[in-house]
Structure formats: structure tokens, C-alpha cells
Amino acid sequence: MLKKDMKFKALPKNGYLFVIKNLFAIMFSIMIVLANKITITSDIFSSNKEAFFSKFGVLDILLFICCFLLTNVGITIIEKIINLSQKKNEYVERTKNVKVFVVFFMLLIICWLPCVLTFYPGGVFADTTYTLLMAKGEAVINNHQPLLYTWIWEIMYGIGGLFALSEYHVIFLCTIVQAIAMALVISCFLYSLYKKGFSKKFIIISTIYFGLFNLIPLYVVSLWKDTFFSIFFFAFSVLLFNIFWNRAEERKFIKWQTILLYSVLAYLISFSRNNGIYAFFFFTVVLLVYFAYHKEKRLLKYSAIISFILICVFSVIRGPIYDSFKYNVDDKVESFGIPLQQVCYIIENNGDVSNEDMEVINNIIPQEDIHKLYCPLIVDKIKWAPSFNKEYLNDHYRLFLRTYLNIVRKNPIKALKGWALANEGFWDISRQNGAGYIHNTMWFTLSYPIRDVVKDKCGFSFQNLYSVDKKISSALFAWFIFLSVVIGYRRRRGGSYLALMPAIGIWITMIVATPLAYSLRYVFPLVLLVPMGIAVMIAPKYSLLNTESFTEI
């Protein structure tokens, strides 16, 4: 067994490290100040008078300064605690032991089994119901619900037909496949921690988190596109975590086995949810910048070629090929949720809108209906209104974009406020709403009601174990990932933080184009990435494999 002993040394001062730390502190402090100025007195459908900004004052400047200083001090304290806690851990790489992987897998399955049996055959949601109709050939197939997810269900129904299974058994089969896939991917991550020499305490805590944190088993039994997307997404992140662990592994990026796995997982996340490609594109940009910065010309060239081919092939499939089968639904409103919300906010708050611009907006939705329907936190009441002219928006989307930019140019502050309210749940750590938030009572009245097998057979129920009394803000997970990147880079100054970059890409797509202000389902991969974020923070400083040993940079 080759020991790779990585000793800890004090991190030298560096201008980049100072900038990264203070940039995070500035952004976090701005978030606290903005969140403090927002008042919401109702639910997700709050009106313009129920969800609003209060006026800014001198005290807000003082609050910003205090938050900035406290955030800086907090990061310093966290880094010192990590350094002290890691002194005894030399990160000696452990030998391969498949039994350890099997133990992780079995522990996760055992932990999730009560949830699987409590919510038999699995929780089917309204949008999944339409996917089932497409999979059974009872509805026209389109890509509004990703085709990859529909094809997964077609396979499930195919197996069901082969073995003469009832539809409930087919649904339960999908739940089992989902649980096994989730357990395999998480076990790969836990096994990576084991192999890389992370402490047994951290590995045990991570296993408990994945097994018992109620959001995770609830998603295991949630049959919607987000669960499979999260599985593929986490698998991609685990691959990146292993590739960028050290410089030696990093150079294996151009091996054909790595390229093949990287490409398959990139396509799985790109085709399993319609914003997955944007997360991959964001990561691609970061990856190229990373290789360019480190003057890795060979890796830069190969990664650029691979990424270019992947994105081009994806564009051809999602464009001309999908069009030829009439899979694409030309529905611009799904992409223009935030711009519509900003325009409505400006109109509702007496912004400067010319008659010419107002005429374009009126062609999409009449101004009087904006007054009746506009909700700052969700665009649904606007886009589903009978008077909303979807065809006009689809045919004149360039005109709408020009009008939108003109309105925003004349009302920048109001546009910023409208934007901040429209995606508030993704940046404000203090609030979370039940919309899109998984809980243990949400499947009982839908088309496929669940059955509590444990209660039927044993007379007691585990359902209360999966109650969600306190909802955690989606933004809290996002800010934790940002913090992990900052501390991981400052301590290690290597590429392990790249494993978290696709998650930041997903978060950015929500900030830019979310249809509602709160929905944990859209960023659920961030929940799975919490232990990886900690691993990035506490990992040993980046090292270069030089012949037989690692050498500190």
C-alpha cells in the first residue's frame, strides 16, 4: 500500500484568496440586507400589496457593515477549526475493499426501506401523471416533460408487460429502480471518501445524513423527473470530485474511460431536465478557464474539443432531430417567467412605461388583468390567464425582449426589486414556502393514492418519521455550496471545488428563469451535495503526484 502523506502548512497570504473571501462576504451581506427589507404577509400567491420592499435607510448600511465583518470573521474561524481538526488526519489512502462499498449500499437501502413501504407504490405527482400517459401511448409525446424520463417509464411499462404486472406494480418497480440507483451513486461517493482517507467519523456522519435526513428518503419515493435528474447530477459531481482530487487524477481526464463516463453523465443531466444543459455549459466554461489559468495546454485542448462536440451533438438532437419528430414545444413563456414578472412589477408600481411599450405588453396580457392577477412570487396566474396571448409571445418574442430591455433600462431599481421577489426563495436563507417542497402527506389525493404497507401489516406507521415540520430554505443549501467553494479553494487552492460548480450552474438557472420564488425540487441536487461540500472544505491541500509521492505545492 502506497502512503500519500499530506502534511498541513499555514496558507500563505494571496491576493486572490483575499478577494474571494471578501467577495463572498459582500454578496452574503447584500443578501441579508435585501432579505431584511422584504415583507411577505401571505403565501406564494401574495399580491403586490402582500409581498413588497420597504424603504432603505442608514441602518441598512450599518447592517451591511456588521454582516460583512461577521462573515469575514466567521470564515476565518471555520478555517481555523478545520485546520485544527485535520491535523491528526494524514489522509492515508486506503486499499480497495468492495465489501465496504456493499456495506454502504446495504445501509442506505435498509434506512430507506421503511419509507419505501410506508409510501407504496411511490408518490406520483400531477406532471408525472402526464408522463405516464405518454409512456403508455395515451398522450402525444413532447419534451415539455423530458423525453429521457418518458423513455424510462416506457422501459418500466415494457418490463411490466413482459411479466404481466399491474400498473401499481410497475410504479413500485420504478420506485425500486430509483432507490437502487440513488443508493449506488451515494455509495460511490461514500466509498470515494473511504478510499481517499477521510476520517471514519466524517464517513459515518455522511452515511447517517444520506440515510436518515428525511428529505432524501422522501425523494427516493417521489416519482417525478427531479429524482432521476438529481441521481444523474450527483453521479456527475462524484466523477468530478474524483477527477480533480489531485493533479495526477486530473491528468487522467483525457483517458478514454474517463471521457466516456464524463460524456454519458453530461448527456444524462442534459436530457433529464431541460435546464441541465445550462448547468453543463456553465461548468464547461469554468473548466476551460481553470485549465487555461493553470497553463494545462493539453488538458485545455482536449476538454475544449470534448465539450464542443458534446454541446454540438446535444444541439442537433434537441434542435433538428426533436423538431422532426415534433417533440419540441415552442412555448416561450416557460423561458420568460422572470422578465414577465419584472415588467408586471414595474407596471404595478407606477414605473416609467411608454405608450408604445405598453401596447406590446397589452398584446400579451391586458393591463387590467395584470392589476388583477400579478403575484410577485409566482408567474403562474399571469401565464395561465385566459387573456394571456401565448401565441403572440411565441411569434413576437424578439419584440417582447426589446420592449422588456427598454422598460428595464428606464426602471433599473424597480426591475431589480421585481427580479429579487420573483426568485426570492433561492437567495434568501430566511424563507421557504411549501410550493415544490416535498412532505409526507402530498400523495394521498392524487390519481395513484399511496398505501401504507407497514401499517396494514404491522398495525403501526413510520409516516410521522418523515413529517416536514420545519422547511429549510433552498437558499441555505445554495449559500452552503458557495461557502464550500470559497473555503475549499482558500485552504486547498486546487480543483476539488470544481465538483460543486455544476450545482452553482443549476442555481444560476433558477435565479435567471424560475417560474416561482420557492421550489426546493428545482435545486434538490444541492441537498445531496452537502457532505461533498464539507469534504471539499476539509480535504488536504492540493498535491502533485511526483513519481512515488505527493509533493506540496
* 10-residue mean pLDDT series, the chain (553 residues): 43 73 97 96 93 95 98 96 78 89 98 96 90 94 92 97 95 97 98 93 97 95 95 98 88 91 97 94 96 92 95 95 88 86 96 96 96 95 94 93 97 97 95 83 77 94 88 96 95 87 97 92 96 94 43 31
Cell of 346: 414595474
259 and 338, same structural domain? Answer: no
162 and 202, same structural domain? Answer: yes
Q: Mark which of 61, 83, 105 sits at the end of a domain.
A: 83
53 and 39, same structural domain? Answer: yes
3 state DSSP class of 143 = coil
Q: Mark which of 408, 426, 444 sits at the end of a domain.
A: 426
Tell the residue number behind the cell numbers 485535520, with chain if given: 86
464 within a domain of the structure (yes/no): yes
Number of folded domains that form the chain: 3
511 within a domain of the structure (yes/no): no
291 and 256, same structural domain? Answer: yes
Instruction: Judge whether 350 and 411 are in contact, CB under 8 Å.
Output: no
41 within a domain of the structure (yes/no): yes
Distances (CA, A) of 317 to 219, 246, 261, 424: 29, 35, 19, 34
314 and 210, same structural domain? Answer: yes
338 and 321, same structural domain? Answer: no
- Vertex 240, ends 236 and 244: CA angle to 5°? 175
473 and 371, same structural domain? Answer: no
Q: How far is CA 42 from the centre of its chain?
A: 26
Q: Give the structural domain span for 393.
A: 333-426
461 within a domain of the structure (yes/no): yes
512 within a domain of the structure (yes/no): no
CA distance 232 to 430: 29
319 and 180, same structural domain? Answer: yes
72 and 132, same structural domain? Answer: no
Distances (CA, A) of 9 to 86, 188, 246, 467, 492: 11, 30, 17, 45, 10
342 within a domain of the structure (yes/no): yes
547 within a domain of the structure (yes/no): no
181 and 59, same structural domain? Answer: no
Q: How far is CA 178 from the centre of its chain?
A: 18
- Centre a 10 Å sphere on the Cβ of residue 161 and count the other Cβ atoms it contains: 10
CA distance 314 to 268: 11
Q: Mark which of 62, 83, 104 sits at the end of a domain.
A: 83
Residue from 515, 512, 329 nearest 436 by CA: 515
105 and 211, same structural domain? Answer: yes
119 within a domain of the structure (yes/no): yes
315 and 236, same structural domain? Answer: yes
